[in-house]
A and B are shown apart, each in its own frame.
Chain A
Amino acid sequence: MPVGHLVPEIVLVAGAVTTLLAVLAVPRRLQWIGAPLALATLATSAWFAVDLASDAAQQITFFGTWAIDGATTWARGVVLLATAVVVVMSPEWFARDPRHGEYYPLLVLSALGATLVAGAADTMQLVIGVLLSSVTGYTLAGYHRRSALSVEAAMKYFLVGALANTLLTLGVVLLFGMVGSTLYEATAAGLAGRATDPIAAVAAAAAVGVGLAFKLGAVPAHAWLPDIAQGAPAPSAALLTVVPKVGGLVALARFVQLLPVEQVGWRPWAALVAAATMTLGNLAALWQDDLRRLLGWSSVSQSGYAIMAVVALGRSDLAVPALLYFLLAYVLANLAAFAVVTELRGRTALDAYAGLARRRPLLAAVLVVSFLSLVGIPPLAGFAGKLALFGAVIEGGYAWLAGVAVANTVVSLFYYLRVLGPLYFEVRREPVPVLGRWAGTAAGVTAVAVVAVGVVAEPAFDALSDVLLLPH
């Protein structure tokens, strides 16, 4: 029964609605109840996703529109995990917000959108997923409606998003016009089989590519990311810098496989986008004096690294494991950093972090683990991720891209150390107020996970070694 293949997503919808109804019914002092409800929803969804992965073979299902392969399962897992961490970070942050409870259904729906993007095997389905993920994203970004920064970030996100999503839709329409179907399988066959207009094919691919670059925060649709990181409420920033990327990257990896290589030489272009994204992100992060903006630009550069895996798709067995493992590593490390920011009440000026290690040694340690993982220092998760990425592109014949990534990694170390150096080497006397227990727990748990996923990497790589993208 194909409906069974969508149970994890159905659970999310039902859970979001239930949570919304519940928080509408309870008084303001009980608005936090949305958090446990959302957590229960995410956990139930994850449970069904795991169950489904062990029961059903990797396949395209639901009349050819939905892939339940290893990539979807992995994306489901990462998205649900990341959203759960954000839920845990949120109650203390929004404690005095009168619309506190409604935040949680939005988080759950945003997770749903990202999952739909990741699992889409149909271009229309892809558009719907992207739109759901975007619309919830705009709301989450502008949740502090009295904060100019928050509203500005949401506005920018919306404008870039509207443009990118229009391009995506345009590309999808072009493809539909060429092949007469929105199914991925039919699209691939149609593009490969008949003599389609190569210019139209390239235009469609480029349009869809830009649309997905928006989700990824990759060049040329990256401009929203630093603003979101800086201006959106810290938990929203945590979510929006990771969850949409998971969906976007898996979707991009699926989409490029539909393109006939002889007509649409996407590989060098993907390499170029990867190089441009990581370089731009890193150069822009270099002299930021705002930690959250710095994290935003670093997040752009991390997207660039991730796209390296797409470049190697089909040329290296390491490509798919590298893609999915790196996503997990990045998501955990980035969440840990934003959890620290949240726990420190959104403290954002770089100077305000100087000397923090003496006052808050554990939070400082979390920041060290997170940043060093983003750099790729072993044995943290980011290292195994980058290792697999480098291996994949070298095997895929794009060794120069690995060289660019290495240069970028060295550059990135510079700005991460601009934070970590003063954090440890300077002395601060005044007390450092923090938010509370939950955000701190989120920071600690994600940091431990960064170490654990890196040291015990075998289960992940073992599970990923037979993952398929678009099984037939």
Chain B
Amino acid sequence: MLTATILVPLIGAVALGSARGVSERAARAGAVTIAAVPLALLIAAWSRFDPGSGRLFQLVEAAPWIPTLGVAYRVGVDGVALVIATASALLFTVSAAYPADTRDRPRHYYAWLLFLEAVSLGVFLALDLLLFYVFFDLSLVGMYFLIGEWGHGDAKRSALKFFLFTLAGSLTMLLGILGLALATEPLTFDMATLIRHQPLAGEGLRSSLVLLGLLFGLGVKTPVVPLHTWLPPAHVDAPGPASAILAGVLLKMGTYGMIRIPFAMMRATFAQWALVLAVIGVISAVYGALVALGQSNLKRRIAYTSVNHMGYVVLAIAAAGGVLAGDEPGRELAITGATTQMVAHGLVTGALFLVAGSFWQRTQDYDIDAYGGLARPAPALTGVTTVAAFASLGLPGLAQFVAEFQIFVGTFSVYPALAAVALLGVLITAALFLQLLQKIFLGDLPARWADFPDLHRSEAVTLGVLVALIVAIGVYPRWLLDAIAGSSRILIGGGS
């Protein structure tokens, strides 16, 4: 079943890419339908997933691939992977449904989108380090073409920068993966085995170098300060739906990878360096918020809030792995919070970037100061943006509050001082979003925007789905947290 979630969009991408004479409408309808299949399959998988079973990986499917090198095709999920994959599939469906300017090449645009969906889900479902890497790298190729071909502004340069930075990261991660796997005898890249055996435990310098390689690679992708410089241009110049996917799905690969690989497979070494990682997380959170506050470009501002939000995730992961024993409830909460934050941030920031895309399609202008008073001509747009912005600043009753609350409570039990500093970030985020809402939607309406069109039907429906989920998680998070918590407990305990 999990294999089908990867295969269906992949086959769809190939079919769409090689079909002839497909109209814009047909291509989009086809893409939405195909993109929704993995979503349905993952929801079905959710119903079969048993969080209380005590086993980490479930619904495992495996087939030999390169047995000589210990590489196999293995997919499966734990609670963390399941919820992130499901949220990703949802974001892909929404992004495919969101109207985009495909520049007369709809087949190719939607084919790349589906390809990206297939490989992104592959990243979250892979249970083999090398398979993980394969999908991780392929996601760069898909995003490169989406930004380069359908982006605006200095898109080619941004796409190039994105590809170069993230490839540097992923190759460094590959060295780390090799360093980790080569310590096994016989050679294997099986994640479950690596988690069980902790192959580099107690090997001082080598394990530290491997950890550095892994964290550098994943840190570029997340991104953490100071490895984040590729992110703002990529976001600004990407088409709206691609930005939503970049923020909502691709960034998660970094933090998901941290939980999956260094956190789980090198517990001792991770604990040794966790404080450094936590400090980097805090710096990202505060710095990201501060820089976001200084941006007058709508998309840049949202992009930097991603740095801020992902900083919390990194902080929580570091806190959860900061000690090998003790503080179990707090650390468990931290992992659950980090995962919830990945889901919530994906939905919230995805919605915000889609909104930014709508702005671009209407006005080709991202300058916050150019707007004002839009609440009158575009009430629906105002409503959606307001909910998403409030969610992003952590208003109780919305998704990100649930996540950040757990992150701070969990982190407080391990690194109280750092948690306190990180709280500053929340304050700044609140300021920057309130200012953003005020500048765009309140005040005087400039004459040139007097007939600013409100959300179209397809925009309203897709954004409506995201907003509904943001509220649902905020009000009643049990269904989400239950799926994650069992796996958090196992991960904290070091079992597999």
Contacts and interface: CB of A to CB of B under 8 A. Distances in A.
Contact of A395 (B130, B164, B182): B182
B134 A424 contact: no
A317 B476 CA distance: 55
A377 B179 contact: no
Contacts of B49: none
A458 B178 contact: no
B108 to A, nearest CB: 9
A379 B137 CA distance: 9
A417 interface: yes
Interface in B133-166: 133-134, 137-138, 140-141, 144-145, 148-149, 155-156, 159-160, 163-164
Given A378-B137, A391-B182, A403 B175 contact: yes
Given A424-B145, A461-B68, A378 B138 contact: yes
B167 interface: yes
Interface in A378-394: 378-379, 383-384, 387-388, 390-391, 394
Contact of B178 (A321, A375, A390): A390
Interface in A415-457: 417, 421-422, 424-425, 457
A376 to B, nearest CB: 8
Contact of A402 (B160, B163, B175): B175
B133 A421 contact: no
B69 A406 contact: no
A410 interface: yes
A425 B68 CA distance: 40
B69 A394 contact: no
A413 B171 CA distance: 12
A378 B133 contact: yes
B69 A421 contact: no
Contacts of A372: 141
Contacts of B182: 391, 394-395
Contact of B179 (A383, A399, A424, A457): A399
B175 A409 contact: no
Interface in B156-211: 156, 159-160, 163-164, 167-168, 171-172, 174-175, 178-179, 182, 209
A458 B66 contact: yes
Contacts of A409: 167, 171
B175 A406 contact: yes
Interface in A230-249: none
B67 interface: yes
A461 B69 contact: yes
B130 A387 contact: yes
Contacts of A402: 175, 178
B267 to A, nearest CB: 22
A406 B178 contact: no
A410 B178 contact: no
How extensive is the interface on chain A, given as a class?
A: 20 to 34
A462 interface: yes
Contacts of B145: 424
Contacts of A461: 66, 68-69
A61 interface: no
A422 to B, nearest CB: 8
B148 A421 contact: yes
A413 B164 contact: yes
A385 to B, nearest CB: 12
Contacts of B168: 406-407, 410
A398 interface: no
- Interface majority SS on B: helix, strand, loop or mixed? helix
A94 interface: no
> Which of B137, B167, B171, B174 has the largest number of chain A CB atoms within 10 A?
B171
B145 to A, nearest CB: 7
Contacts of A399: 175, 179, 209
A414 B164 contact: yes
Centre residue among A378, A379, A395 by max chain B CB count within 10 A = A378
Interface string B66-97: 11110000000000000000000000000000
B64 interface: yes
B175 A394 contact: yes
Nearest to A427: B103
A348 interface: no
Contacts of A378: 133-134, 137-138
A465 interface: yes
Given A406-B175, A424-B149, A413 B69 contact: no
A399 B209 CA distance: 10
Contacts of B160: 414, 417, 421
Contact of B148 (A379, A383, A390, A425): A425
Contact of B68 (A375, A377, A410, A465): A465
Contacts of B137: 377-378, 383
B156 A425 contact: yes
Contacts of A391: 69, 178, 182
Nearest to B150: A425
Interface centre among A321, A383, A406, A409 (most CB of B within 10 A): A406
A382 to B, nearest CB: 12
Interface in A338-391: 372, 375, 377-379, 383-384, 387-388, 390-391
Q: Give the residue among A409, A413, A422, A465 with the most B Cβ atoms within 10 A.
A: A413
A264 B88 CA distance: 56
Contacts of B156: 421-422, 425
A388 B167 CA distance: 18
Contacts of A410: 164, 167-168, 171
B174 A387 contact: yes
Nearest to A407: B168
Nearest to B135: A378
Nearest to B18: A361
A307 B278 CA distance: 40
Contacts of A465: 68
Contacts of B149: 424-425
Nearest to A318: B69
A318 B137 CA distance: 23
A402 B174 CA distance: 10
A10 to B, nearest CB: 34
B134 A457 contact: no
A372 to B, nearest CB: 7
B148 A406 contact: no
B163 A458 contact: no
25 contacts: A372-B141, A377-B138, A377-B140, A378-B133, A387-B69, A387-B130, A387-B174, A388-B69, A390-B178, A391-B182, A394-B178, A394-B179, A394-B182, A395-B182, A399-B179, A402-B175, A406-B168, A407-B168, A409-B171, A410-B167, A424-B148, A425-B148, A457-B65, A458-B66, A462-B68
Interface of A: 321, 372, 375, 377-379, 383-384, 387-388, 390-391, 394-395, 399, 402-403, 406-407, 409-410, 413-414, 417, 421-422, 424-425, 457-458, 461-462, 465
Given A377-B138, A399-B179, 12 more contacts: A377-B141, A378-B133, A378-B137, A387-B69, A387-B174, A391-B182, A394-B182, A402-B175, A417-B160, A458-B65, A458-B66, A461-B68
Closest 6 CB pairs of A and B: A378-B134, A461-B68, A406-B171, A410-B168, A458-B66, A425-B148
